[in-house]
A and B are shown apart, each in its own frame.
Chain A
Amino acid sequence: MASNGKPPLALVDARLLDPASGRDEKGGLLAIEGRIVEVGPWVNGEGLPADAEVIRCAGHCLAPGLVDMRVQLREPGEEHMETIASGASAAAAGGVTGMVCLPNTDPIIDDVAAVEFVARRARETRLAKVYCYAAVTKALEGRDLVEMGLLAESGALAFTDGLKAVADAQVMRRALAYARAFGRRIIQHPEEPRLAEGGMMNSGELATRLGLAGIPAAAEVMMIERDLHLVAMTGASYHVAHISTAGAVEVIRGAKARGLPVTCDTQPAYFTLNETAVGDYRTFAKLSPPLRSEEDRWAVAAAVADGTIDCVASDHAPYDQESKRVPFAHAAAGIIGLETLLPLTLELHHKGQARLIDVLRRVTSAPADLLGLPQGRLAKGAPADLLLFDLDRPGRIDVDRLHSKSKNSPFDGHPIQGRVLRSIVDGRTVFAAEA
């Protein structure tokens, strides 16, 4: 282990927030050799190992580091937009200590060598932990299954065709069935591609006024409904990425009530913004799926609060200026999110829509459990991947101060409450805010 000689780390005088156990109390945490060895109110300044580094938290919140279950890092292939190193640095600044990247790189992550490349680059950066998904189908073409067994063995946490839906029902059926043998989920981008074809924003009055082709909410809902039949047939675990509609929330709520092995996530934009953010053709507000109506936004927020939506991911999608400074129809869809995930998710708590411990669960233990990762909890034996944050400090998002190589965010100037003070990976501080 590289942790030879690394002193023990103690964080004391903190508000311990552990969604996995429901713990919310004053106390401290001791980590040795990168693992949590003690946590609780009894960990205070006394009786610590003599060589321990002691951090006094002044009552601020100590939670598990965020586990971001969907990011795009653009390496290999488009390193001018983001690299694994720049993405990991953005993650550390955002309190994200573990993240999973999509396979839509160049080359595509559909073989063992690509998975190992990501793992090696992530080890070299020594910031946030970086995992990856592998494609469901070779070259993301929607036809032939990848070597799921070998990829799972080499570390692919789940399978997804990323920004593309697995559209063919037979392919999806076989993917679900086959992945089951290896205990991996299939993650679907829920959009019926033909119904969404050519669409640029949510269908409705605003799209009509702007003369932009619309993507109906039904495109999302019907893809999920189709897949749920296949899930019932195969018994396989199925995860729906970035839910954006009230209809999808309803369908998943029903499926969960029937006991189907289905989970889902969303990203903060879908419970923070609605389609009006597109305004006068703002390409920074172009997402896939598109920002929806106010009713949809409200339903997504409520589903995050009540747990119908299991996880919140950043959906970090870095794009350079050239991808966004073009007519709306040609602009890339997606926004960066690693450094805005925490404050935007906390907004649900500050607005009184959700309990603090619940919103934290969506970005820590829930995604970790879903992907079979040991972190995401303040528990003895768990990796010391931690996040210390000031819950209440007000500020504004300033994209120029973000660490990501790309600056495509619709949240520039957005008022926020909550700030990352320190990010810790395996007991090692990877980010500390200036005082």
Chain B
Amino acid sequence: MSAAPALRFRHRHLLGIQGLSEDEIVALLDLSETYVAFNRSAEKKRELLAGRTLINLFFENSTRTRTSFELAGKRLGGDVINMQAATSSIKKGETLIDTAMTLNAMHPDVLVVRHPDSGAVNLLSQKVSCAVINGGDGSHEHPTQALLDALTIRRRRGRLQGLLVAICGDILHSRVARSNIHLLTTMGARVRVIAPPTLLPSAIDRLGVEIFYDMRRGLKDCDIVMMLRLQTERMQGAYVPSIREYFHFYGLDREKLAEARPDALIMHPGPMNRGVEIDSEVADDIDRSLIREQVEMGVAVRMACLDLLTRKLRANEDGAQGNGNGEQR
């Protein structure tokens, strides 16, 4: 195994992008890059996490993110266990903290947690002695999604700085939007948010973005167009009057896309609602759409996160002659 460069990563957990420095983001992206090549080779197995246990603890349904973390863990040689909250004791009234303590007693090395409540992953991270990766918490953050988006963009455009990125759709409820805003603004990109006012959180401009209610004007000269998923239950009168009206004004189609730069690229964190926020013709345009590439980058980014967060732990044990399971800290 090649000696990795000394990374300046000050954190025990990866709970969000807010708080990461530009250097730390670059370090994560550079490391991810090495895993992209690795994943494309025929032999996709390393022993980096041999003997390590990774638990995917999901309190919310997810196929894509969970599978991506599972593959990442397995390709690095770790033991991966998936726990879906619906089948666990959570439903029996056990509190989040009890669950955390129980899992902690089993000495996992990394916990990946997704939870429907903002801040739940932060709370859990305070109660366990292993590294915690936020797999998405409420409307707060989804850091690995922002990292994989950034990696995807950087590979196509060679940089993030100076790019004009539009994030469109349900910003109000979106953790993906928040993590992306933090990452892109930290890296020197210009970010616009495009949405009807009912789907914008208050004071969003304080996060360093420009606000547009008119999608055509918002897309003007953009390099990157990031679409967000709009949950069906939010489209029937509560936040927007109808799907039809939403698609008319905020759905990405050829016509609106024409306002962006001719080489503008399209992204979506998935799963897509075709015909609601994005037109199939646009989503499937192999020259413009990065949607499948985002999925590929997801595995590489998650491998990099696992690598980085367990690095300190591995270094400690090398020094202490490997005293078994995670007595880190």
Give me the interface of A with B, judged by CB distance under 8 Å. 203-205, 207-214, 216, 280-281, 322, 325-330
In contact, A216 and B202 (Cβ under 8 angstroms): yes
In contact, B118 and A211 (Cβ under 8 angstroms): yes
Given A281-B123, A327-B119, A329-B118, A211 and B202 contact (CB-CB distance below 8 Å)? no
The CB with the most chain A CB atoms within 10 A, among B96, B117, B175, is that of B117
Instruction: Verify if B207 is at the interface (C-beta below 8 Å from A).
Output: yes
Minimum C-beta distance from A292 to chain B (A)? 13
- A327's partner among B18, B115, B201, B204 (CB-CB below 8 A) is B115
Q: Known pairs A205-B207, A327-B96; list 19 more (Cβ under 8 Å).
A: A204-B203, A205-B203, A208-B201, A208-B203, A208-B206, A209-B18, A209-B178, A210-B140, A211-B118, A211-B140, A212-B118, A212-B119, A212-B140, A281-B118, A326-B97, A328-B117, A329-B117, A329-B118, A329-B119
In contact, B119 and A205 (Cβ under 8 angstroms): no
Q: Which chain B positions have C-beta within 8 A of A204?
A: 202-203
Q: Which chain B positions have C-beta within 8 A of A203?
A: 202-203
9 smallest beta-carbon distances between A and B, as pairs = A211-B140, A281-B119, A211-B139, A327-B117, A211-B118, A205-B203, A205-B206, A208-B201, A327-B120
Measured CA separation A213–B116 after assembly (Å): 13
Instruction: Verify if B316 is at the interface (C-beta below 8 Å from A).
Output: no
Given A281-B122, A327-B117, A207 and B96 contact (CB-CB distance below 8 Å)? no
In contact, B95 and A322 (Cβ under 8 angstroms): yes
Q: How many residues of B contact A (CB 8 A)?
A: 24
Given A325-B95, A325-B97, A328-B117, A280 and B206 contact (CB-CB distance below 8 Å)? no
Measured CA separation A111–B70 after assembly (Å): 59
Give me the interface of B with A, judged by CB distance under 8 Å. 18, 95-97, 115, 117-120, 122-123, 137-141, 175, 178, 201-204, 206-207
Measured CA separation A278–B268 after assembly (Å): 32
Minimum C-beta distance from A242 to chain B (A)? 22
In contact, B175 and A211 (Cβ under 8 angstroms): yes
In contact, A207 and B201 (Cβ under 8 angstroms): yes
Q: Which chain B positions have C-beta within 8 A of A205?
A: 202-203, 206-207
Q: Which residue of B lies closest to A322 (CB)?
A: B95
- B138's partner among A211, A216, A280, A322 (CB-CB below 8 A) is A211
Consensus secondary structure, chain B interface: mixed
Q: Which chain A positions have C-beta within 8 A of B175?
A: 211
In contact, B137 and A211 (Cβ under 8 angstroms): yes
The CB with the most chain B CB atoms within 10 A, among A204, A281, A326, A327, is that of A327
In contact, A330 and B117 (Cβ under 8 angstroms): yes
Minimum C-beta distance from A207 to chain B (A)? 7
- 11 of the cross-chain contacts (CB-CB < 8 Å) are A204-B203, A205-B203, A205-B206, A205-B207, A209-B18, A210-B118, A212-B118, A212-B139, A281-B118, A328-B119, A329-B117
The CB with the most chain B CB atoms within 10 A, among A205, A211, A212, A329, is that of A211
Q: Which residue of A lies closest to B200 (CB)?
A: A208
Minimum C-beta distance from A259 to chain B (A)? 36
Measured CA separation A280–B15 after assembly (Å): 11
Q: Which chain B positions have C-beta within 8 A of A209?
A: 18, 178, 207
Q: Which chain A positions have C-beta within 8 A of B204?
A: 208
Minimum C-beta distance from A91 to chain B (A)? 31
- B123's partner among A211, A216, A327 (CB-CB below 8 A) is A327
In contact, B141 and A211 (Cβ under 8 angstroms): yes
Measured CA separation A203–B203 after assembly (Å): 8
Given A211-B140, A325-B97, A280 and B202 contact (CB-CB distance below 8 Å)? no
Q: Which chain A positions have C-beta within 8 A of B123?
A: 281, 325-327
Q: Which residue of B lies closest to A328 (CB)?
A: B119
Q: Which chain A positions have C-beta within 8 A of B141?
A: 211
In contact, A214 and B201 (Cβ under 8 angstroms): yes
Measured CA separation A203–B201 after assembly (Å): 9
Q: Which residue of B lies closest to A213 (CB)?
A: B139
Measured CA separation A211–B96 after assembly (Å): 19
Q: Which chain A positions have C-beta within 8 A of B203?
A: 203-205, 208
In contact, B202 and A214 (Cβ under 8 angstroms): yes
Measured CA separation A329–B206 after assembly (Å): 23
Minimum C-beta distance from A331 to chain B (A)? 10
Measured CA separation A208–B200 after assembly (Å): 9
Q: Which residue of A lies closest to B206 (CB)?
A: A205
Q: Which residue of A lies closest to B124 (CB)?
A: A327
Measured CA separation A210–B117 after assembly (Å): 11
Measured CA separation A205–B97 after assembly (Å): 28
In contact, A280 and B122 (Cβ under 8 angstroms): yes
Measured CA separation A207–B140 after assembly (Å): 9
Q: Which chain A positions have C-beta within 8 A of B120?
A: 327
Minimum C-beta distance from B226 to chain A (A)? 18
Q: Which residue of A lies closest to B202 (CB)?
A: A203
Minimum C-beta distance from A51 to chain B (A)? 58
Q: Which chain A positions have C-beta within 8 A of B139?
A: 211-213
Q: Which chain A positions have C-beta within 8 A of B115?
A: 327
Q: Which chain B positions have C-beta within 8 A of A211?
A: 118-119, 137-141, 175, 178
Q: Which chain A positions have C-beta within 8 A of B178?
A: 208-209, 211
Minimum C-beta distance from A198 to chain B (A)? 11
Q: Which residue of A lies closest to B115 (CB)?
A: A327
Minimum C-beta distance from B29 to chain A (A)? 23
Q: Which chain A positions have C-beta within 8 A of B118?
A: 210-212, 281, 327-329
Measured CA separation A394–B19 after assembly (Å): 36
Measured CA separation A205–B138 after assembly (Å): 17
Q: Which chain B positions have C-beta within 8 A of A213?
A: 139
Q: Which residue of A lies closest to B118 (CB)?
A: A211
In contact, B95 and A326 (Cβ under 8 angstroms): yes
Measured CA separation A204–B202 after assembly (Å): 5
Measured CA separation A211–B118 after assembly (Å): 6
Given A326-B96, A329-B138, A207 and B119 contact (CB-CB distance below 8 Å)? no
Q: Which chain A positions have C-beta within 8 A of B119?
A: 210-212, 280-281, 327-329
In contact, B207 and A208 (Cβ under 8 angstroms): yes
Measured CA separation A207–B201 after assembly (Å): 9
- B202's partner among A207, A327, A328 (CB-CB below 8 A) is A207
Q: Which chain B positions have C-beta within 8 A of A325?
A: 95, 97, 123
Q: Which chain A positions have C-beta within 8 A of B97?
A: 325-326
Q: Which chain A positions have C-beta within 8 A of B122?
A: 280-281
Q: Which chain B positions have C-beta within 8 A of A322?
A: 95
Measured CA separation A322–B95 after assembly (Å): 9
Minimum C-beta distance from A277 to chain B (A)? 14
Measured CA separation A409–B239 after assembly (Å): 36
Q: Which chain B positions have C-beta within 8 A of A210?
A: 118-119, 140
The CB with the most chain B CB atoms within 10 A, among A203, A207, A216, A281, is that of A281
Minimum C-beta distance from B93 to chain A (A)? 11
Measured CA separation A329–B140 after assembly (Å): 12
Minimum C-beta distance from B137 to chain A (A)? 7
The CB with the most chain A CB atoms within 10 A, among B119, B175, B203, is that of B119
Q: Which residue of B lies closest to A216 (CB)?
A: B202
Q: Which chain B positions have C-beta within 8 A of A208?
A: 178, 201-204, 206-207
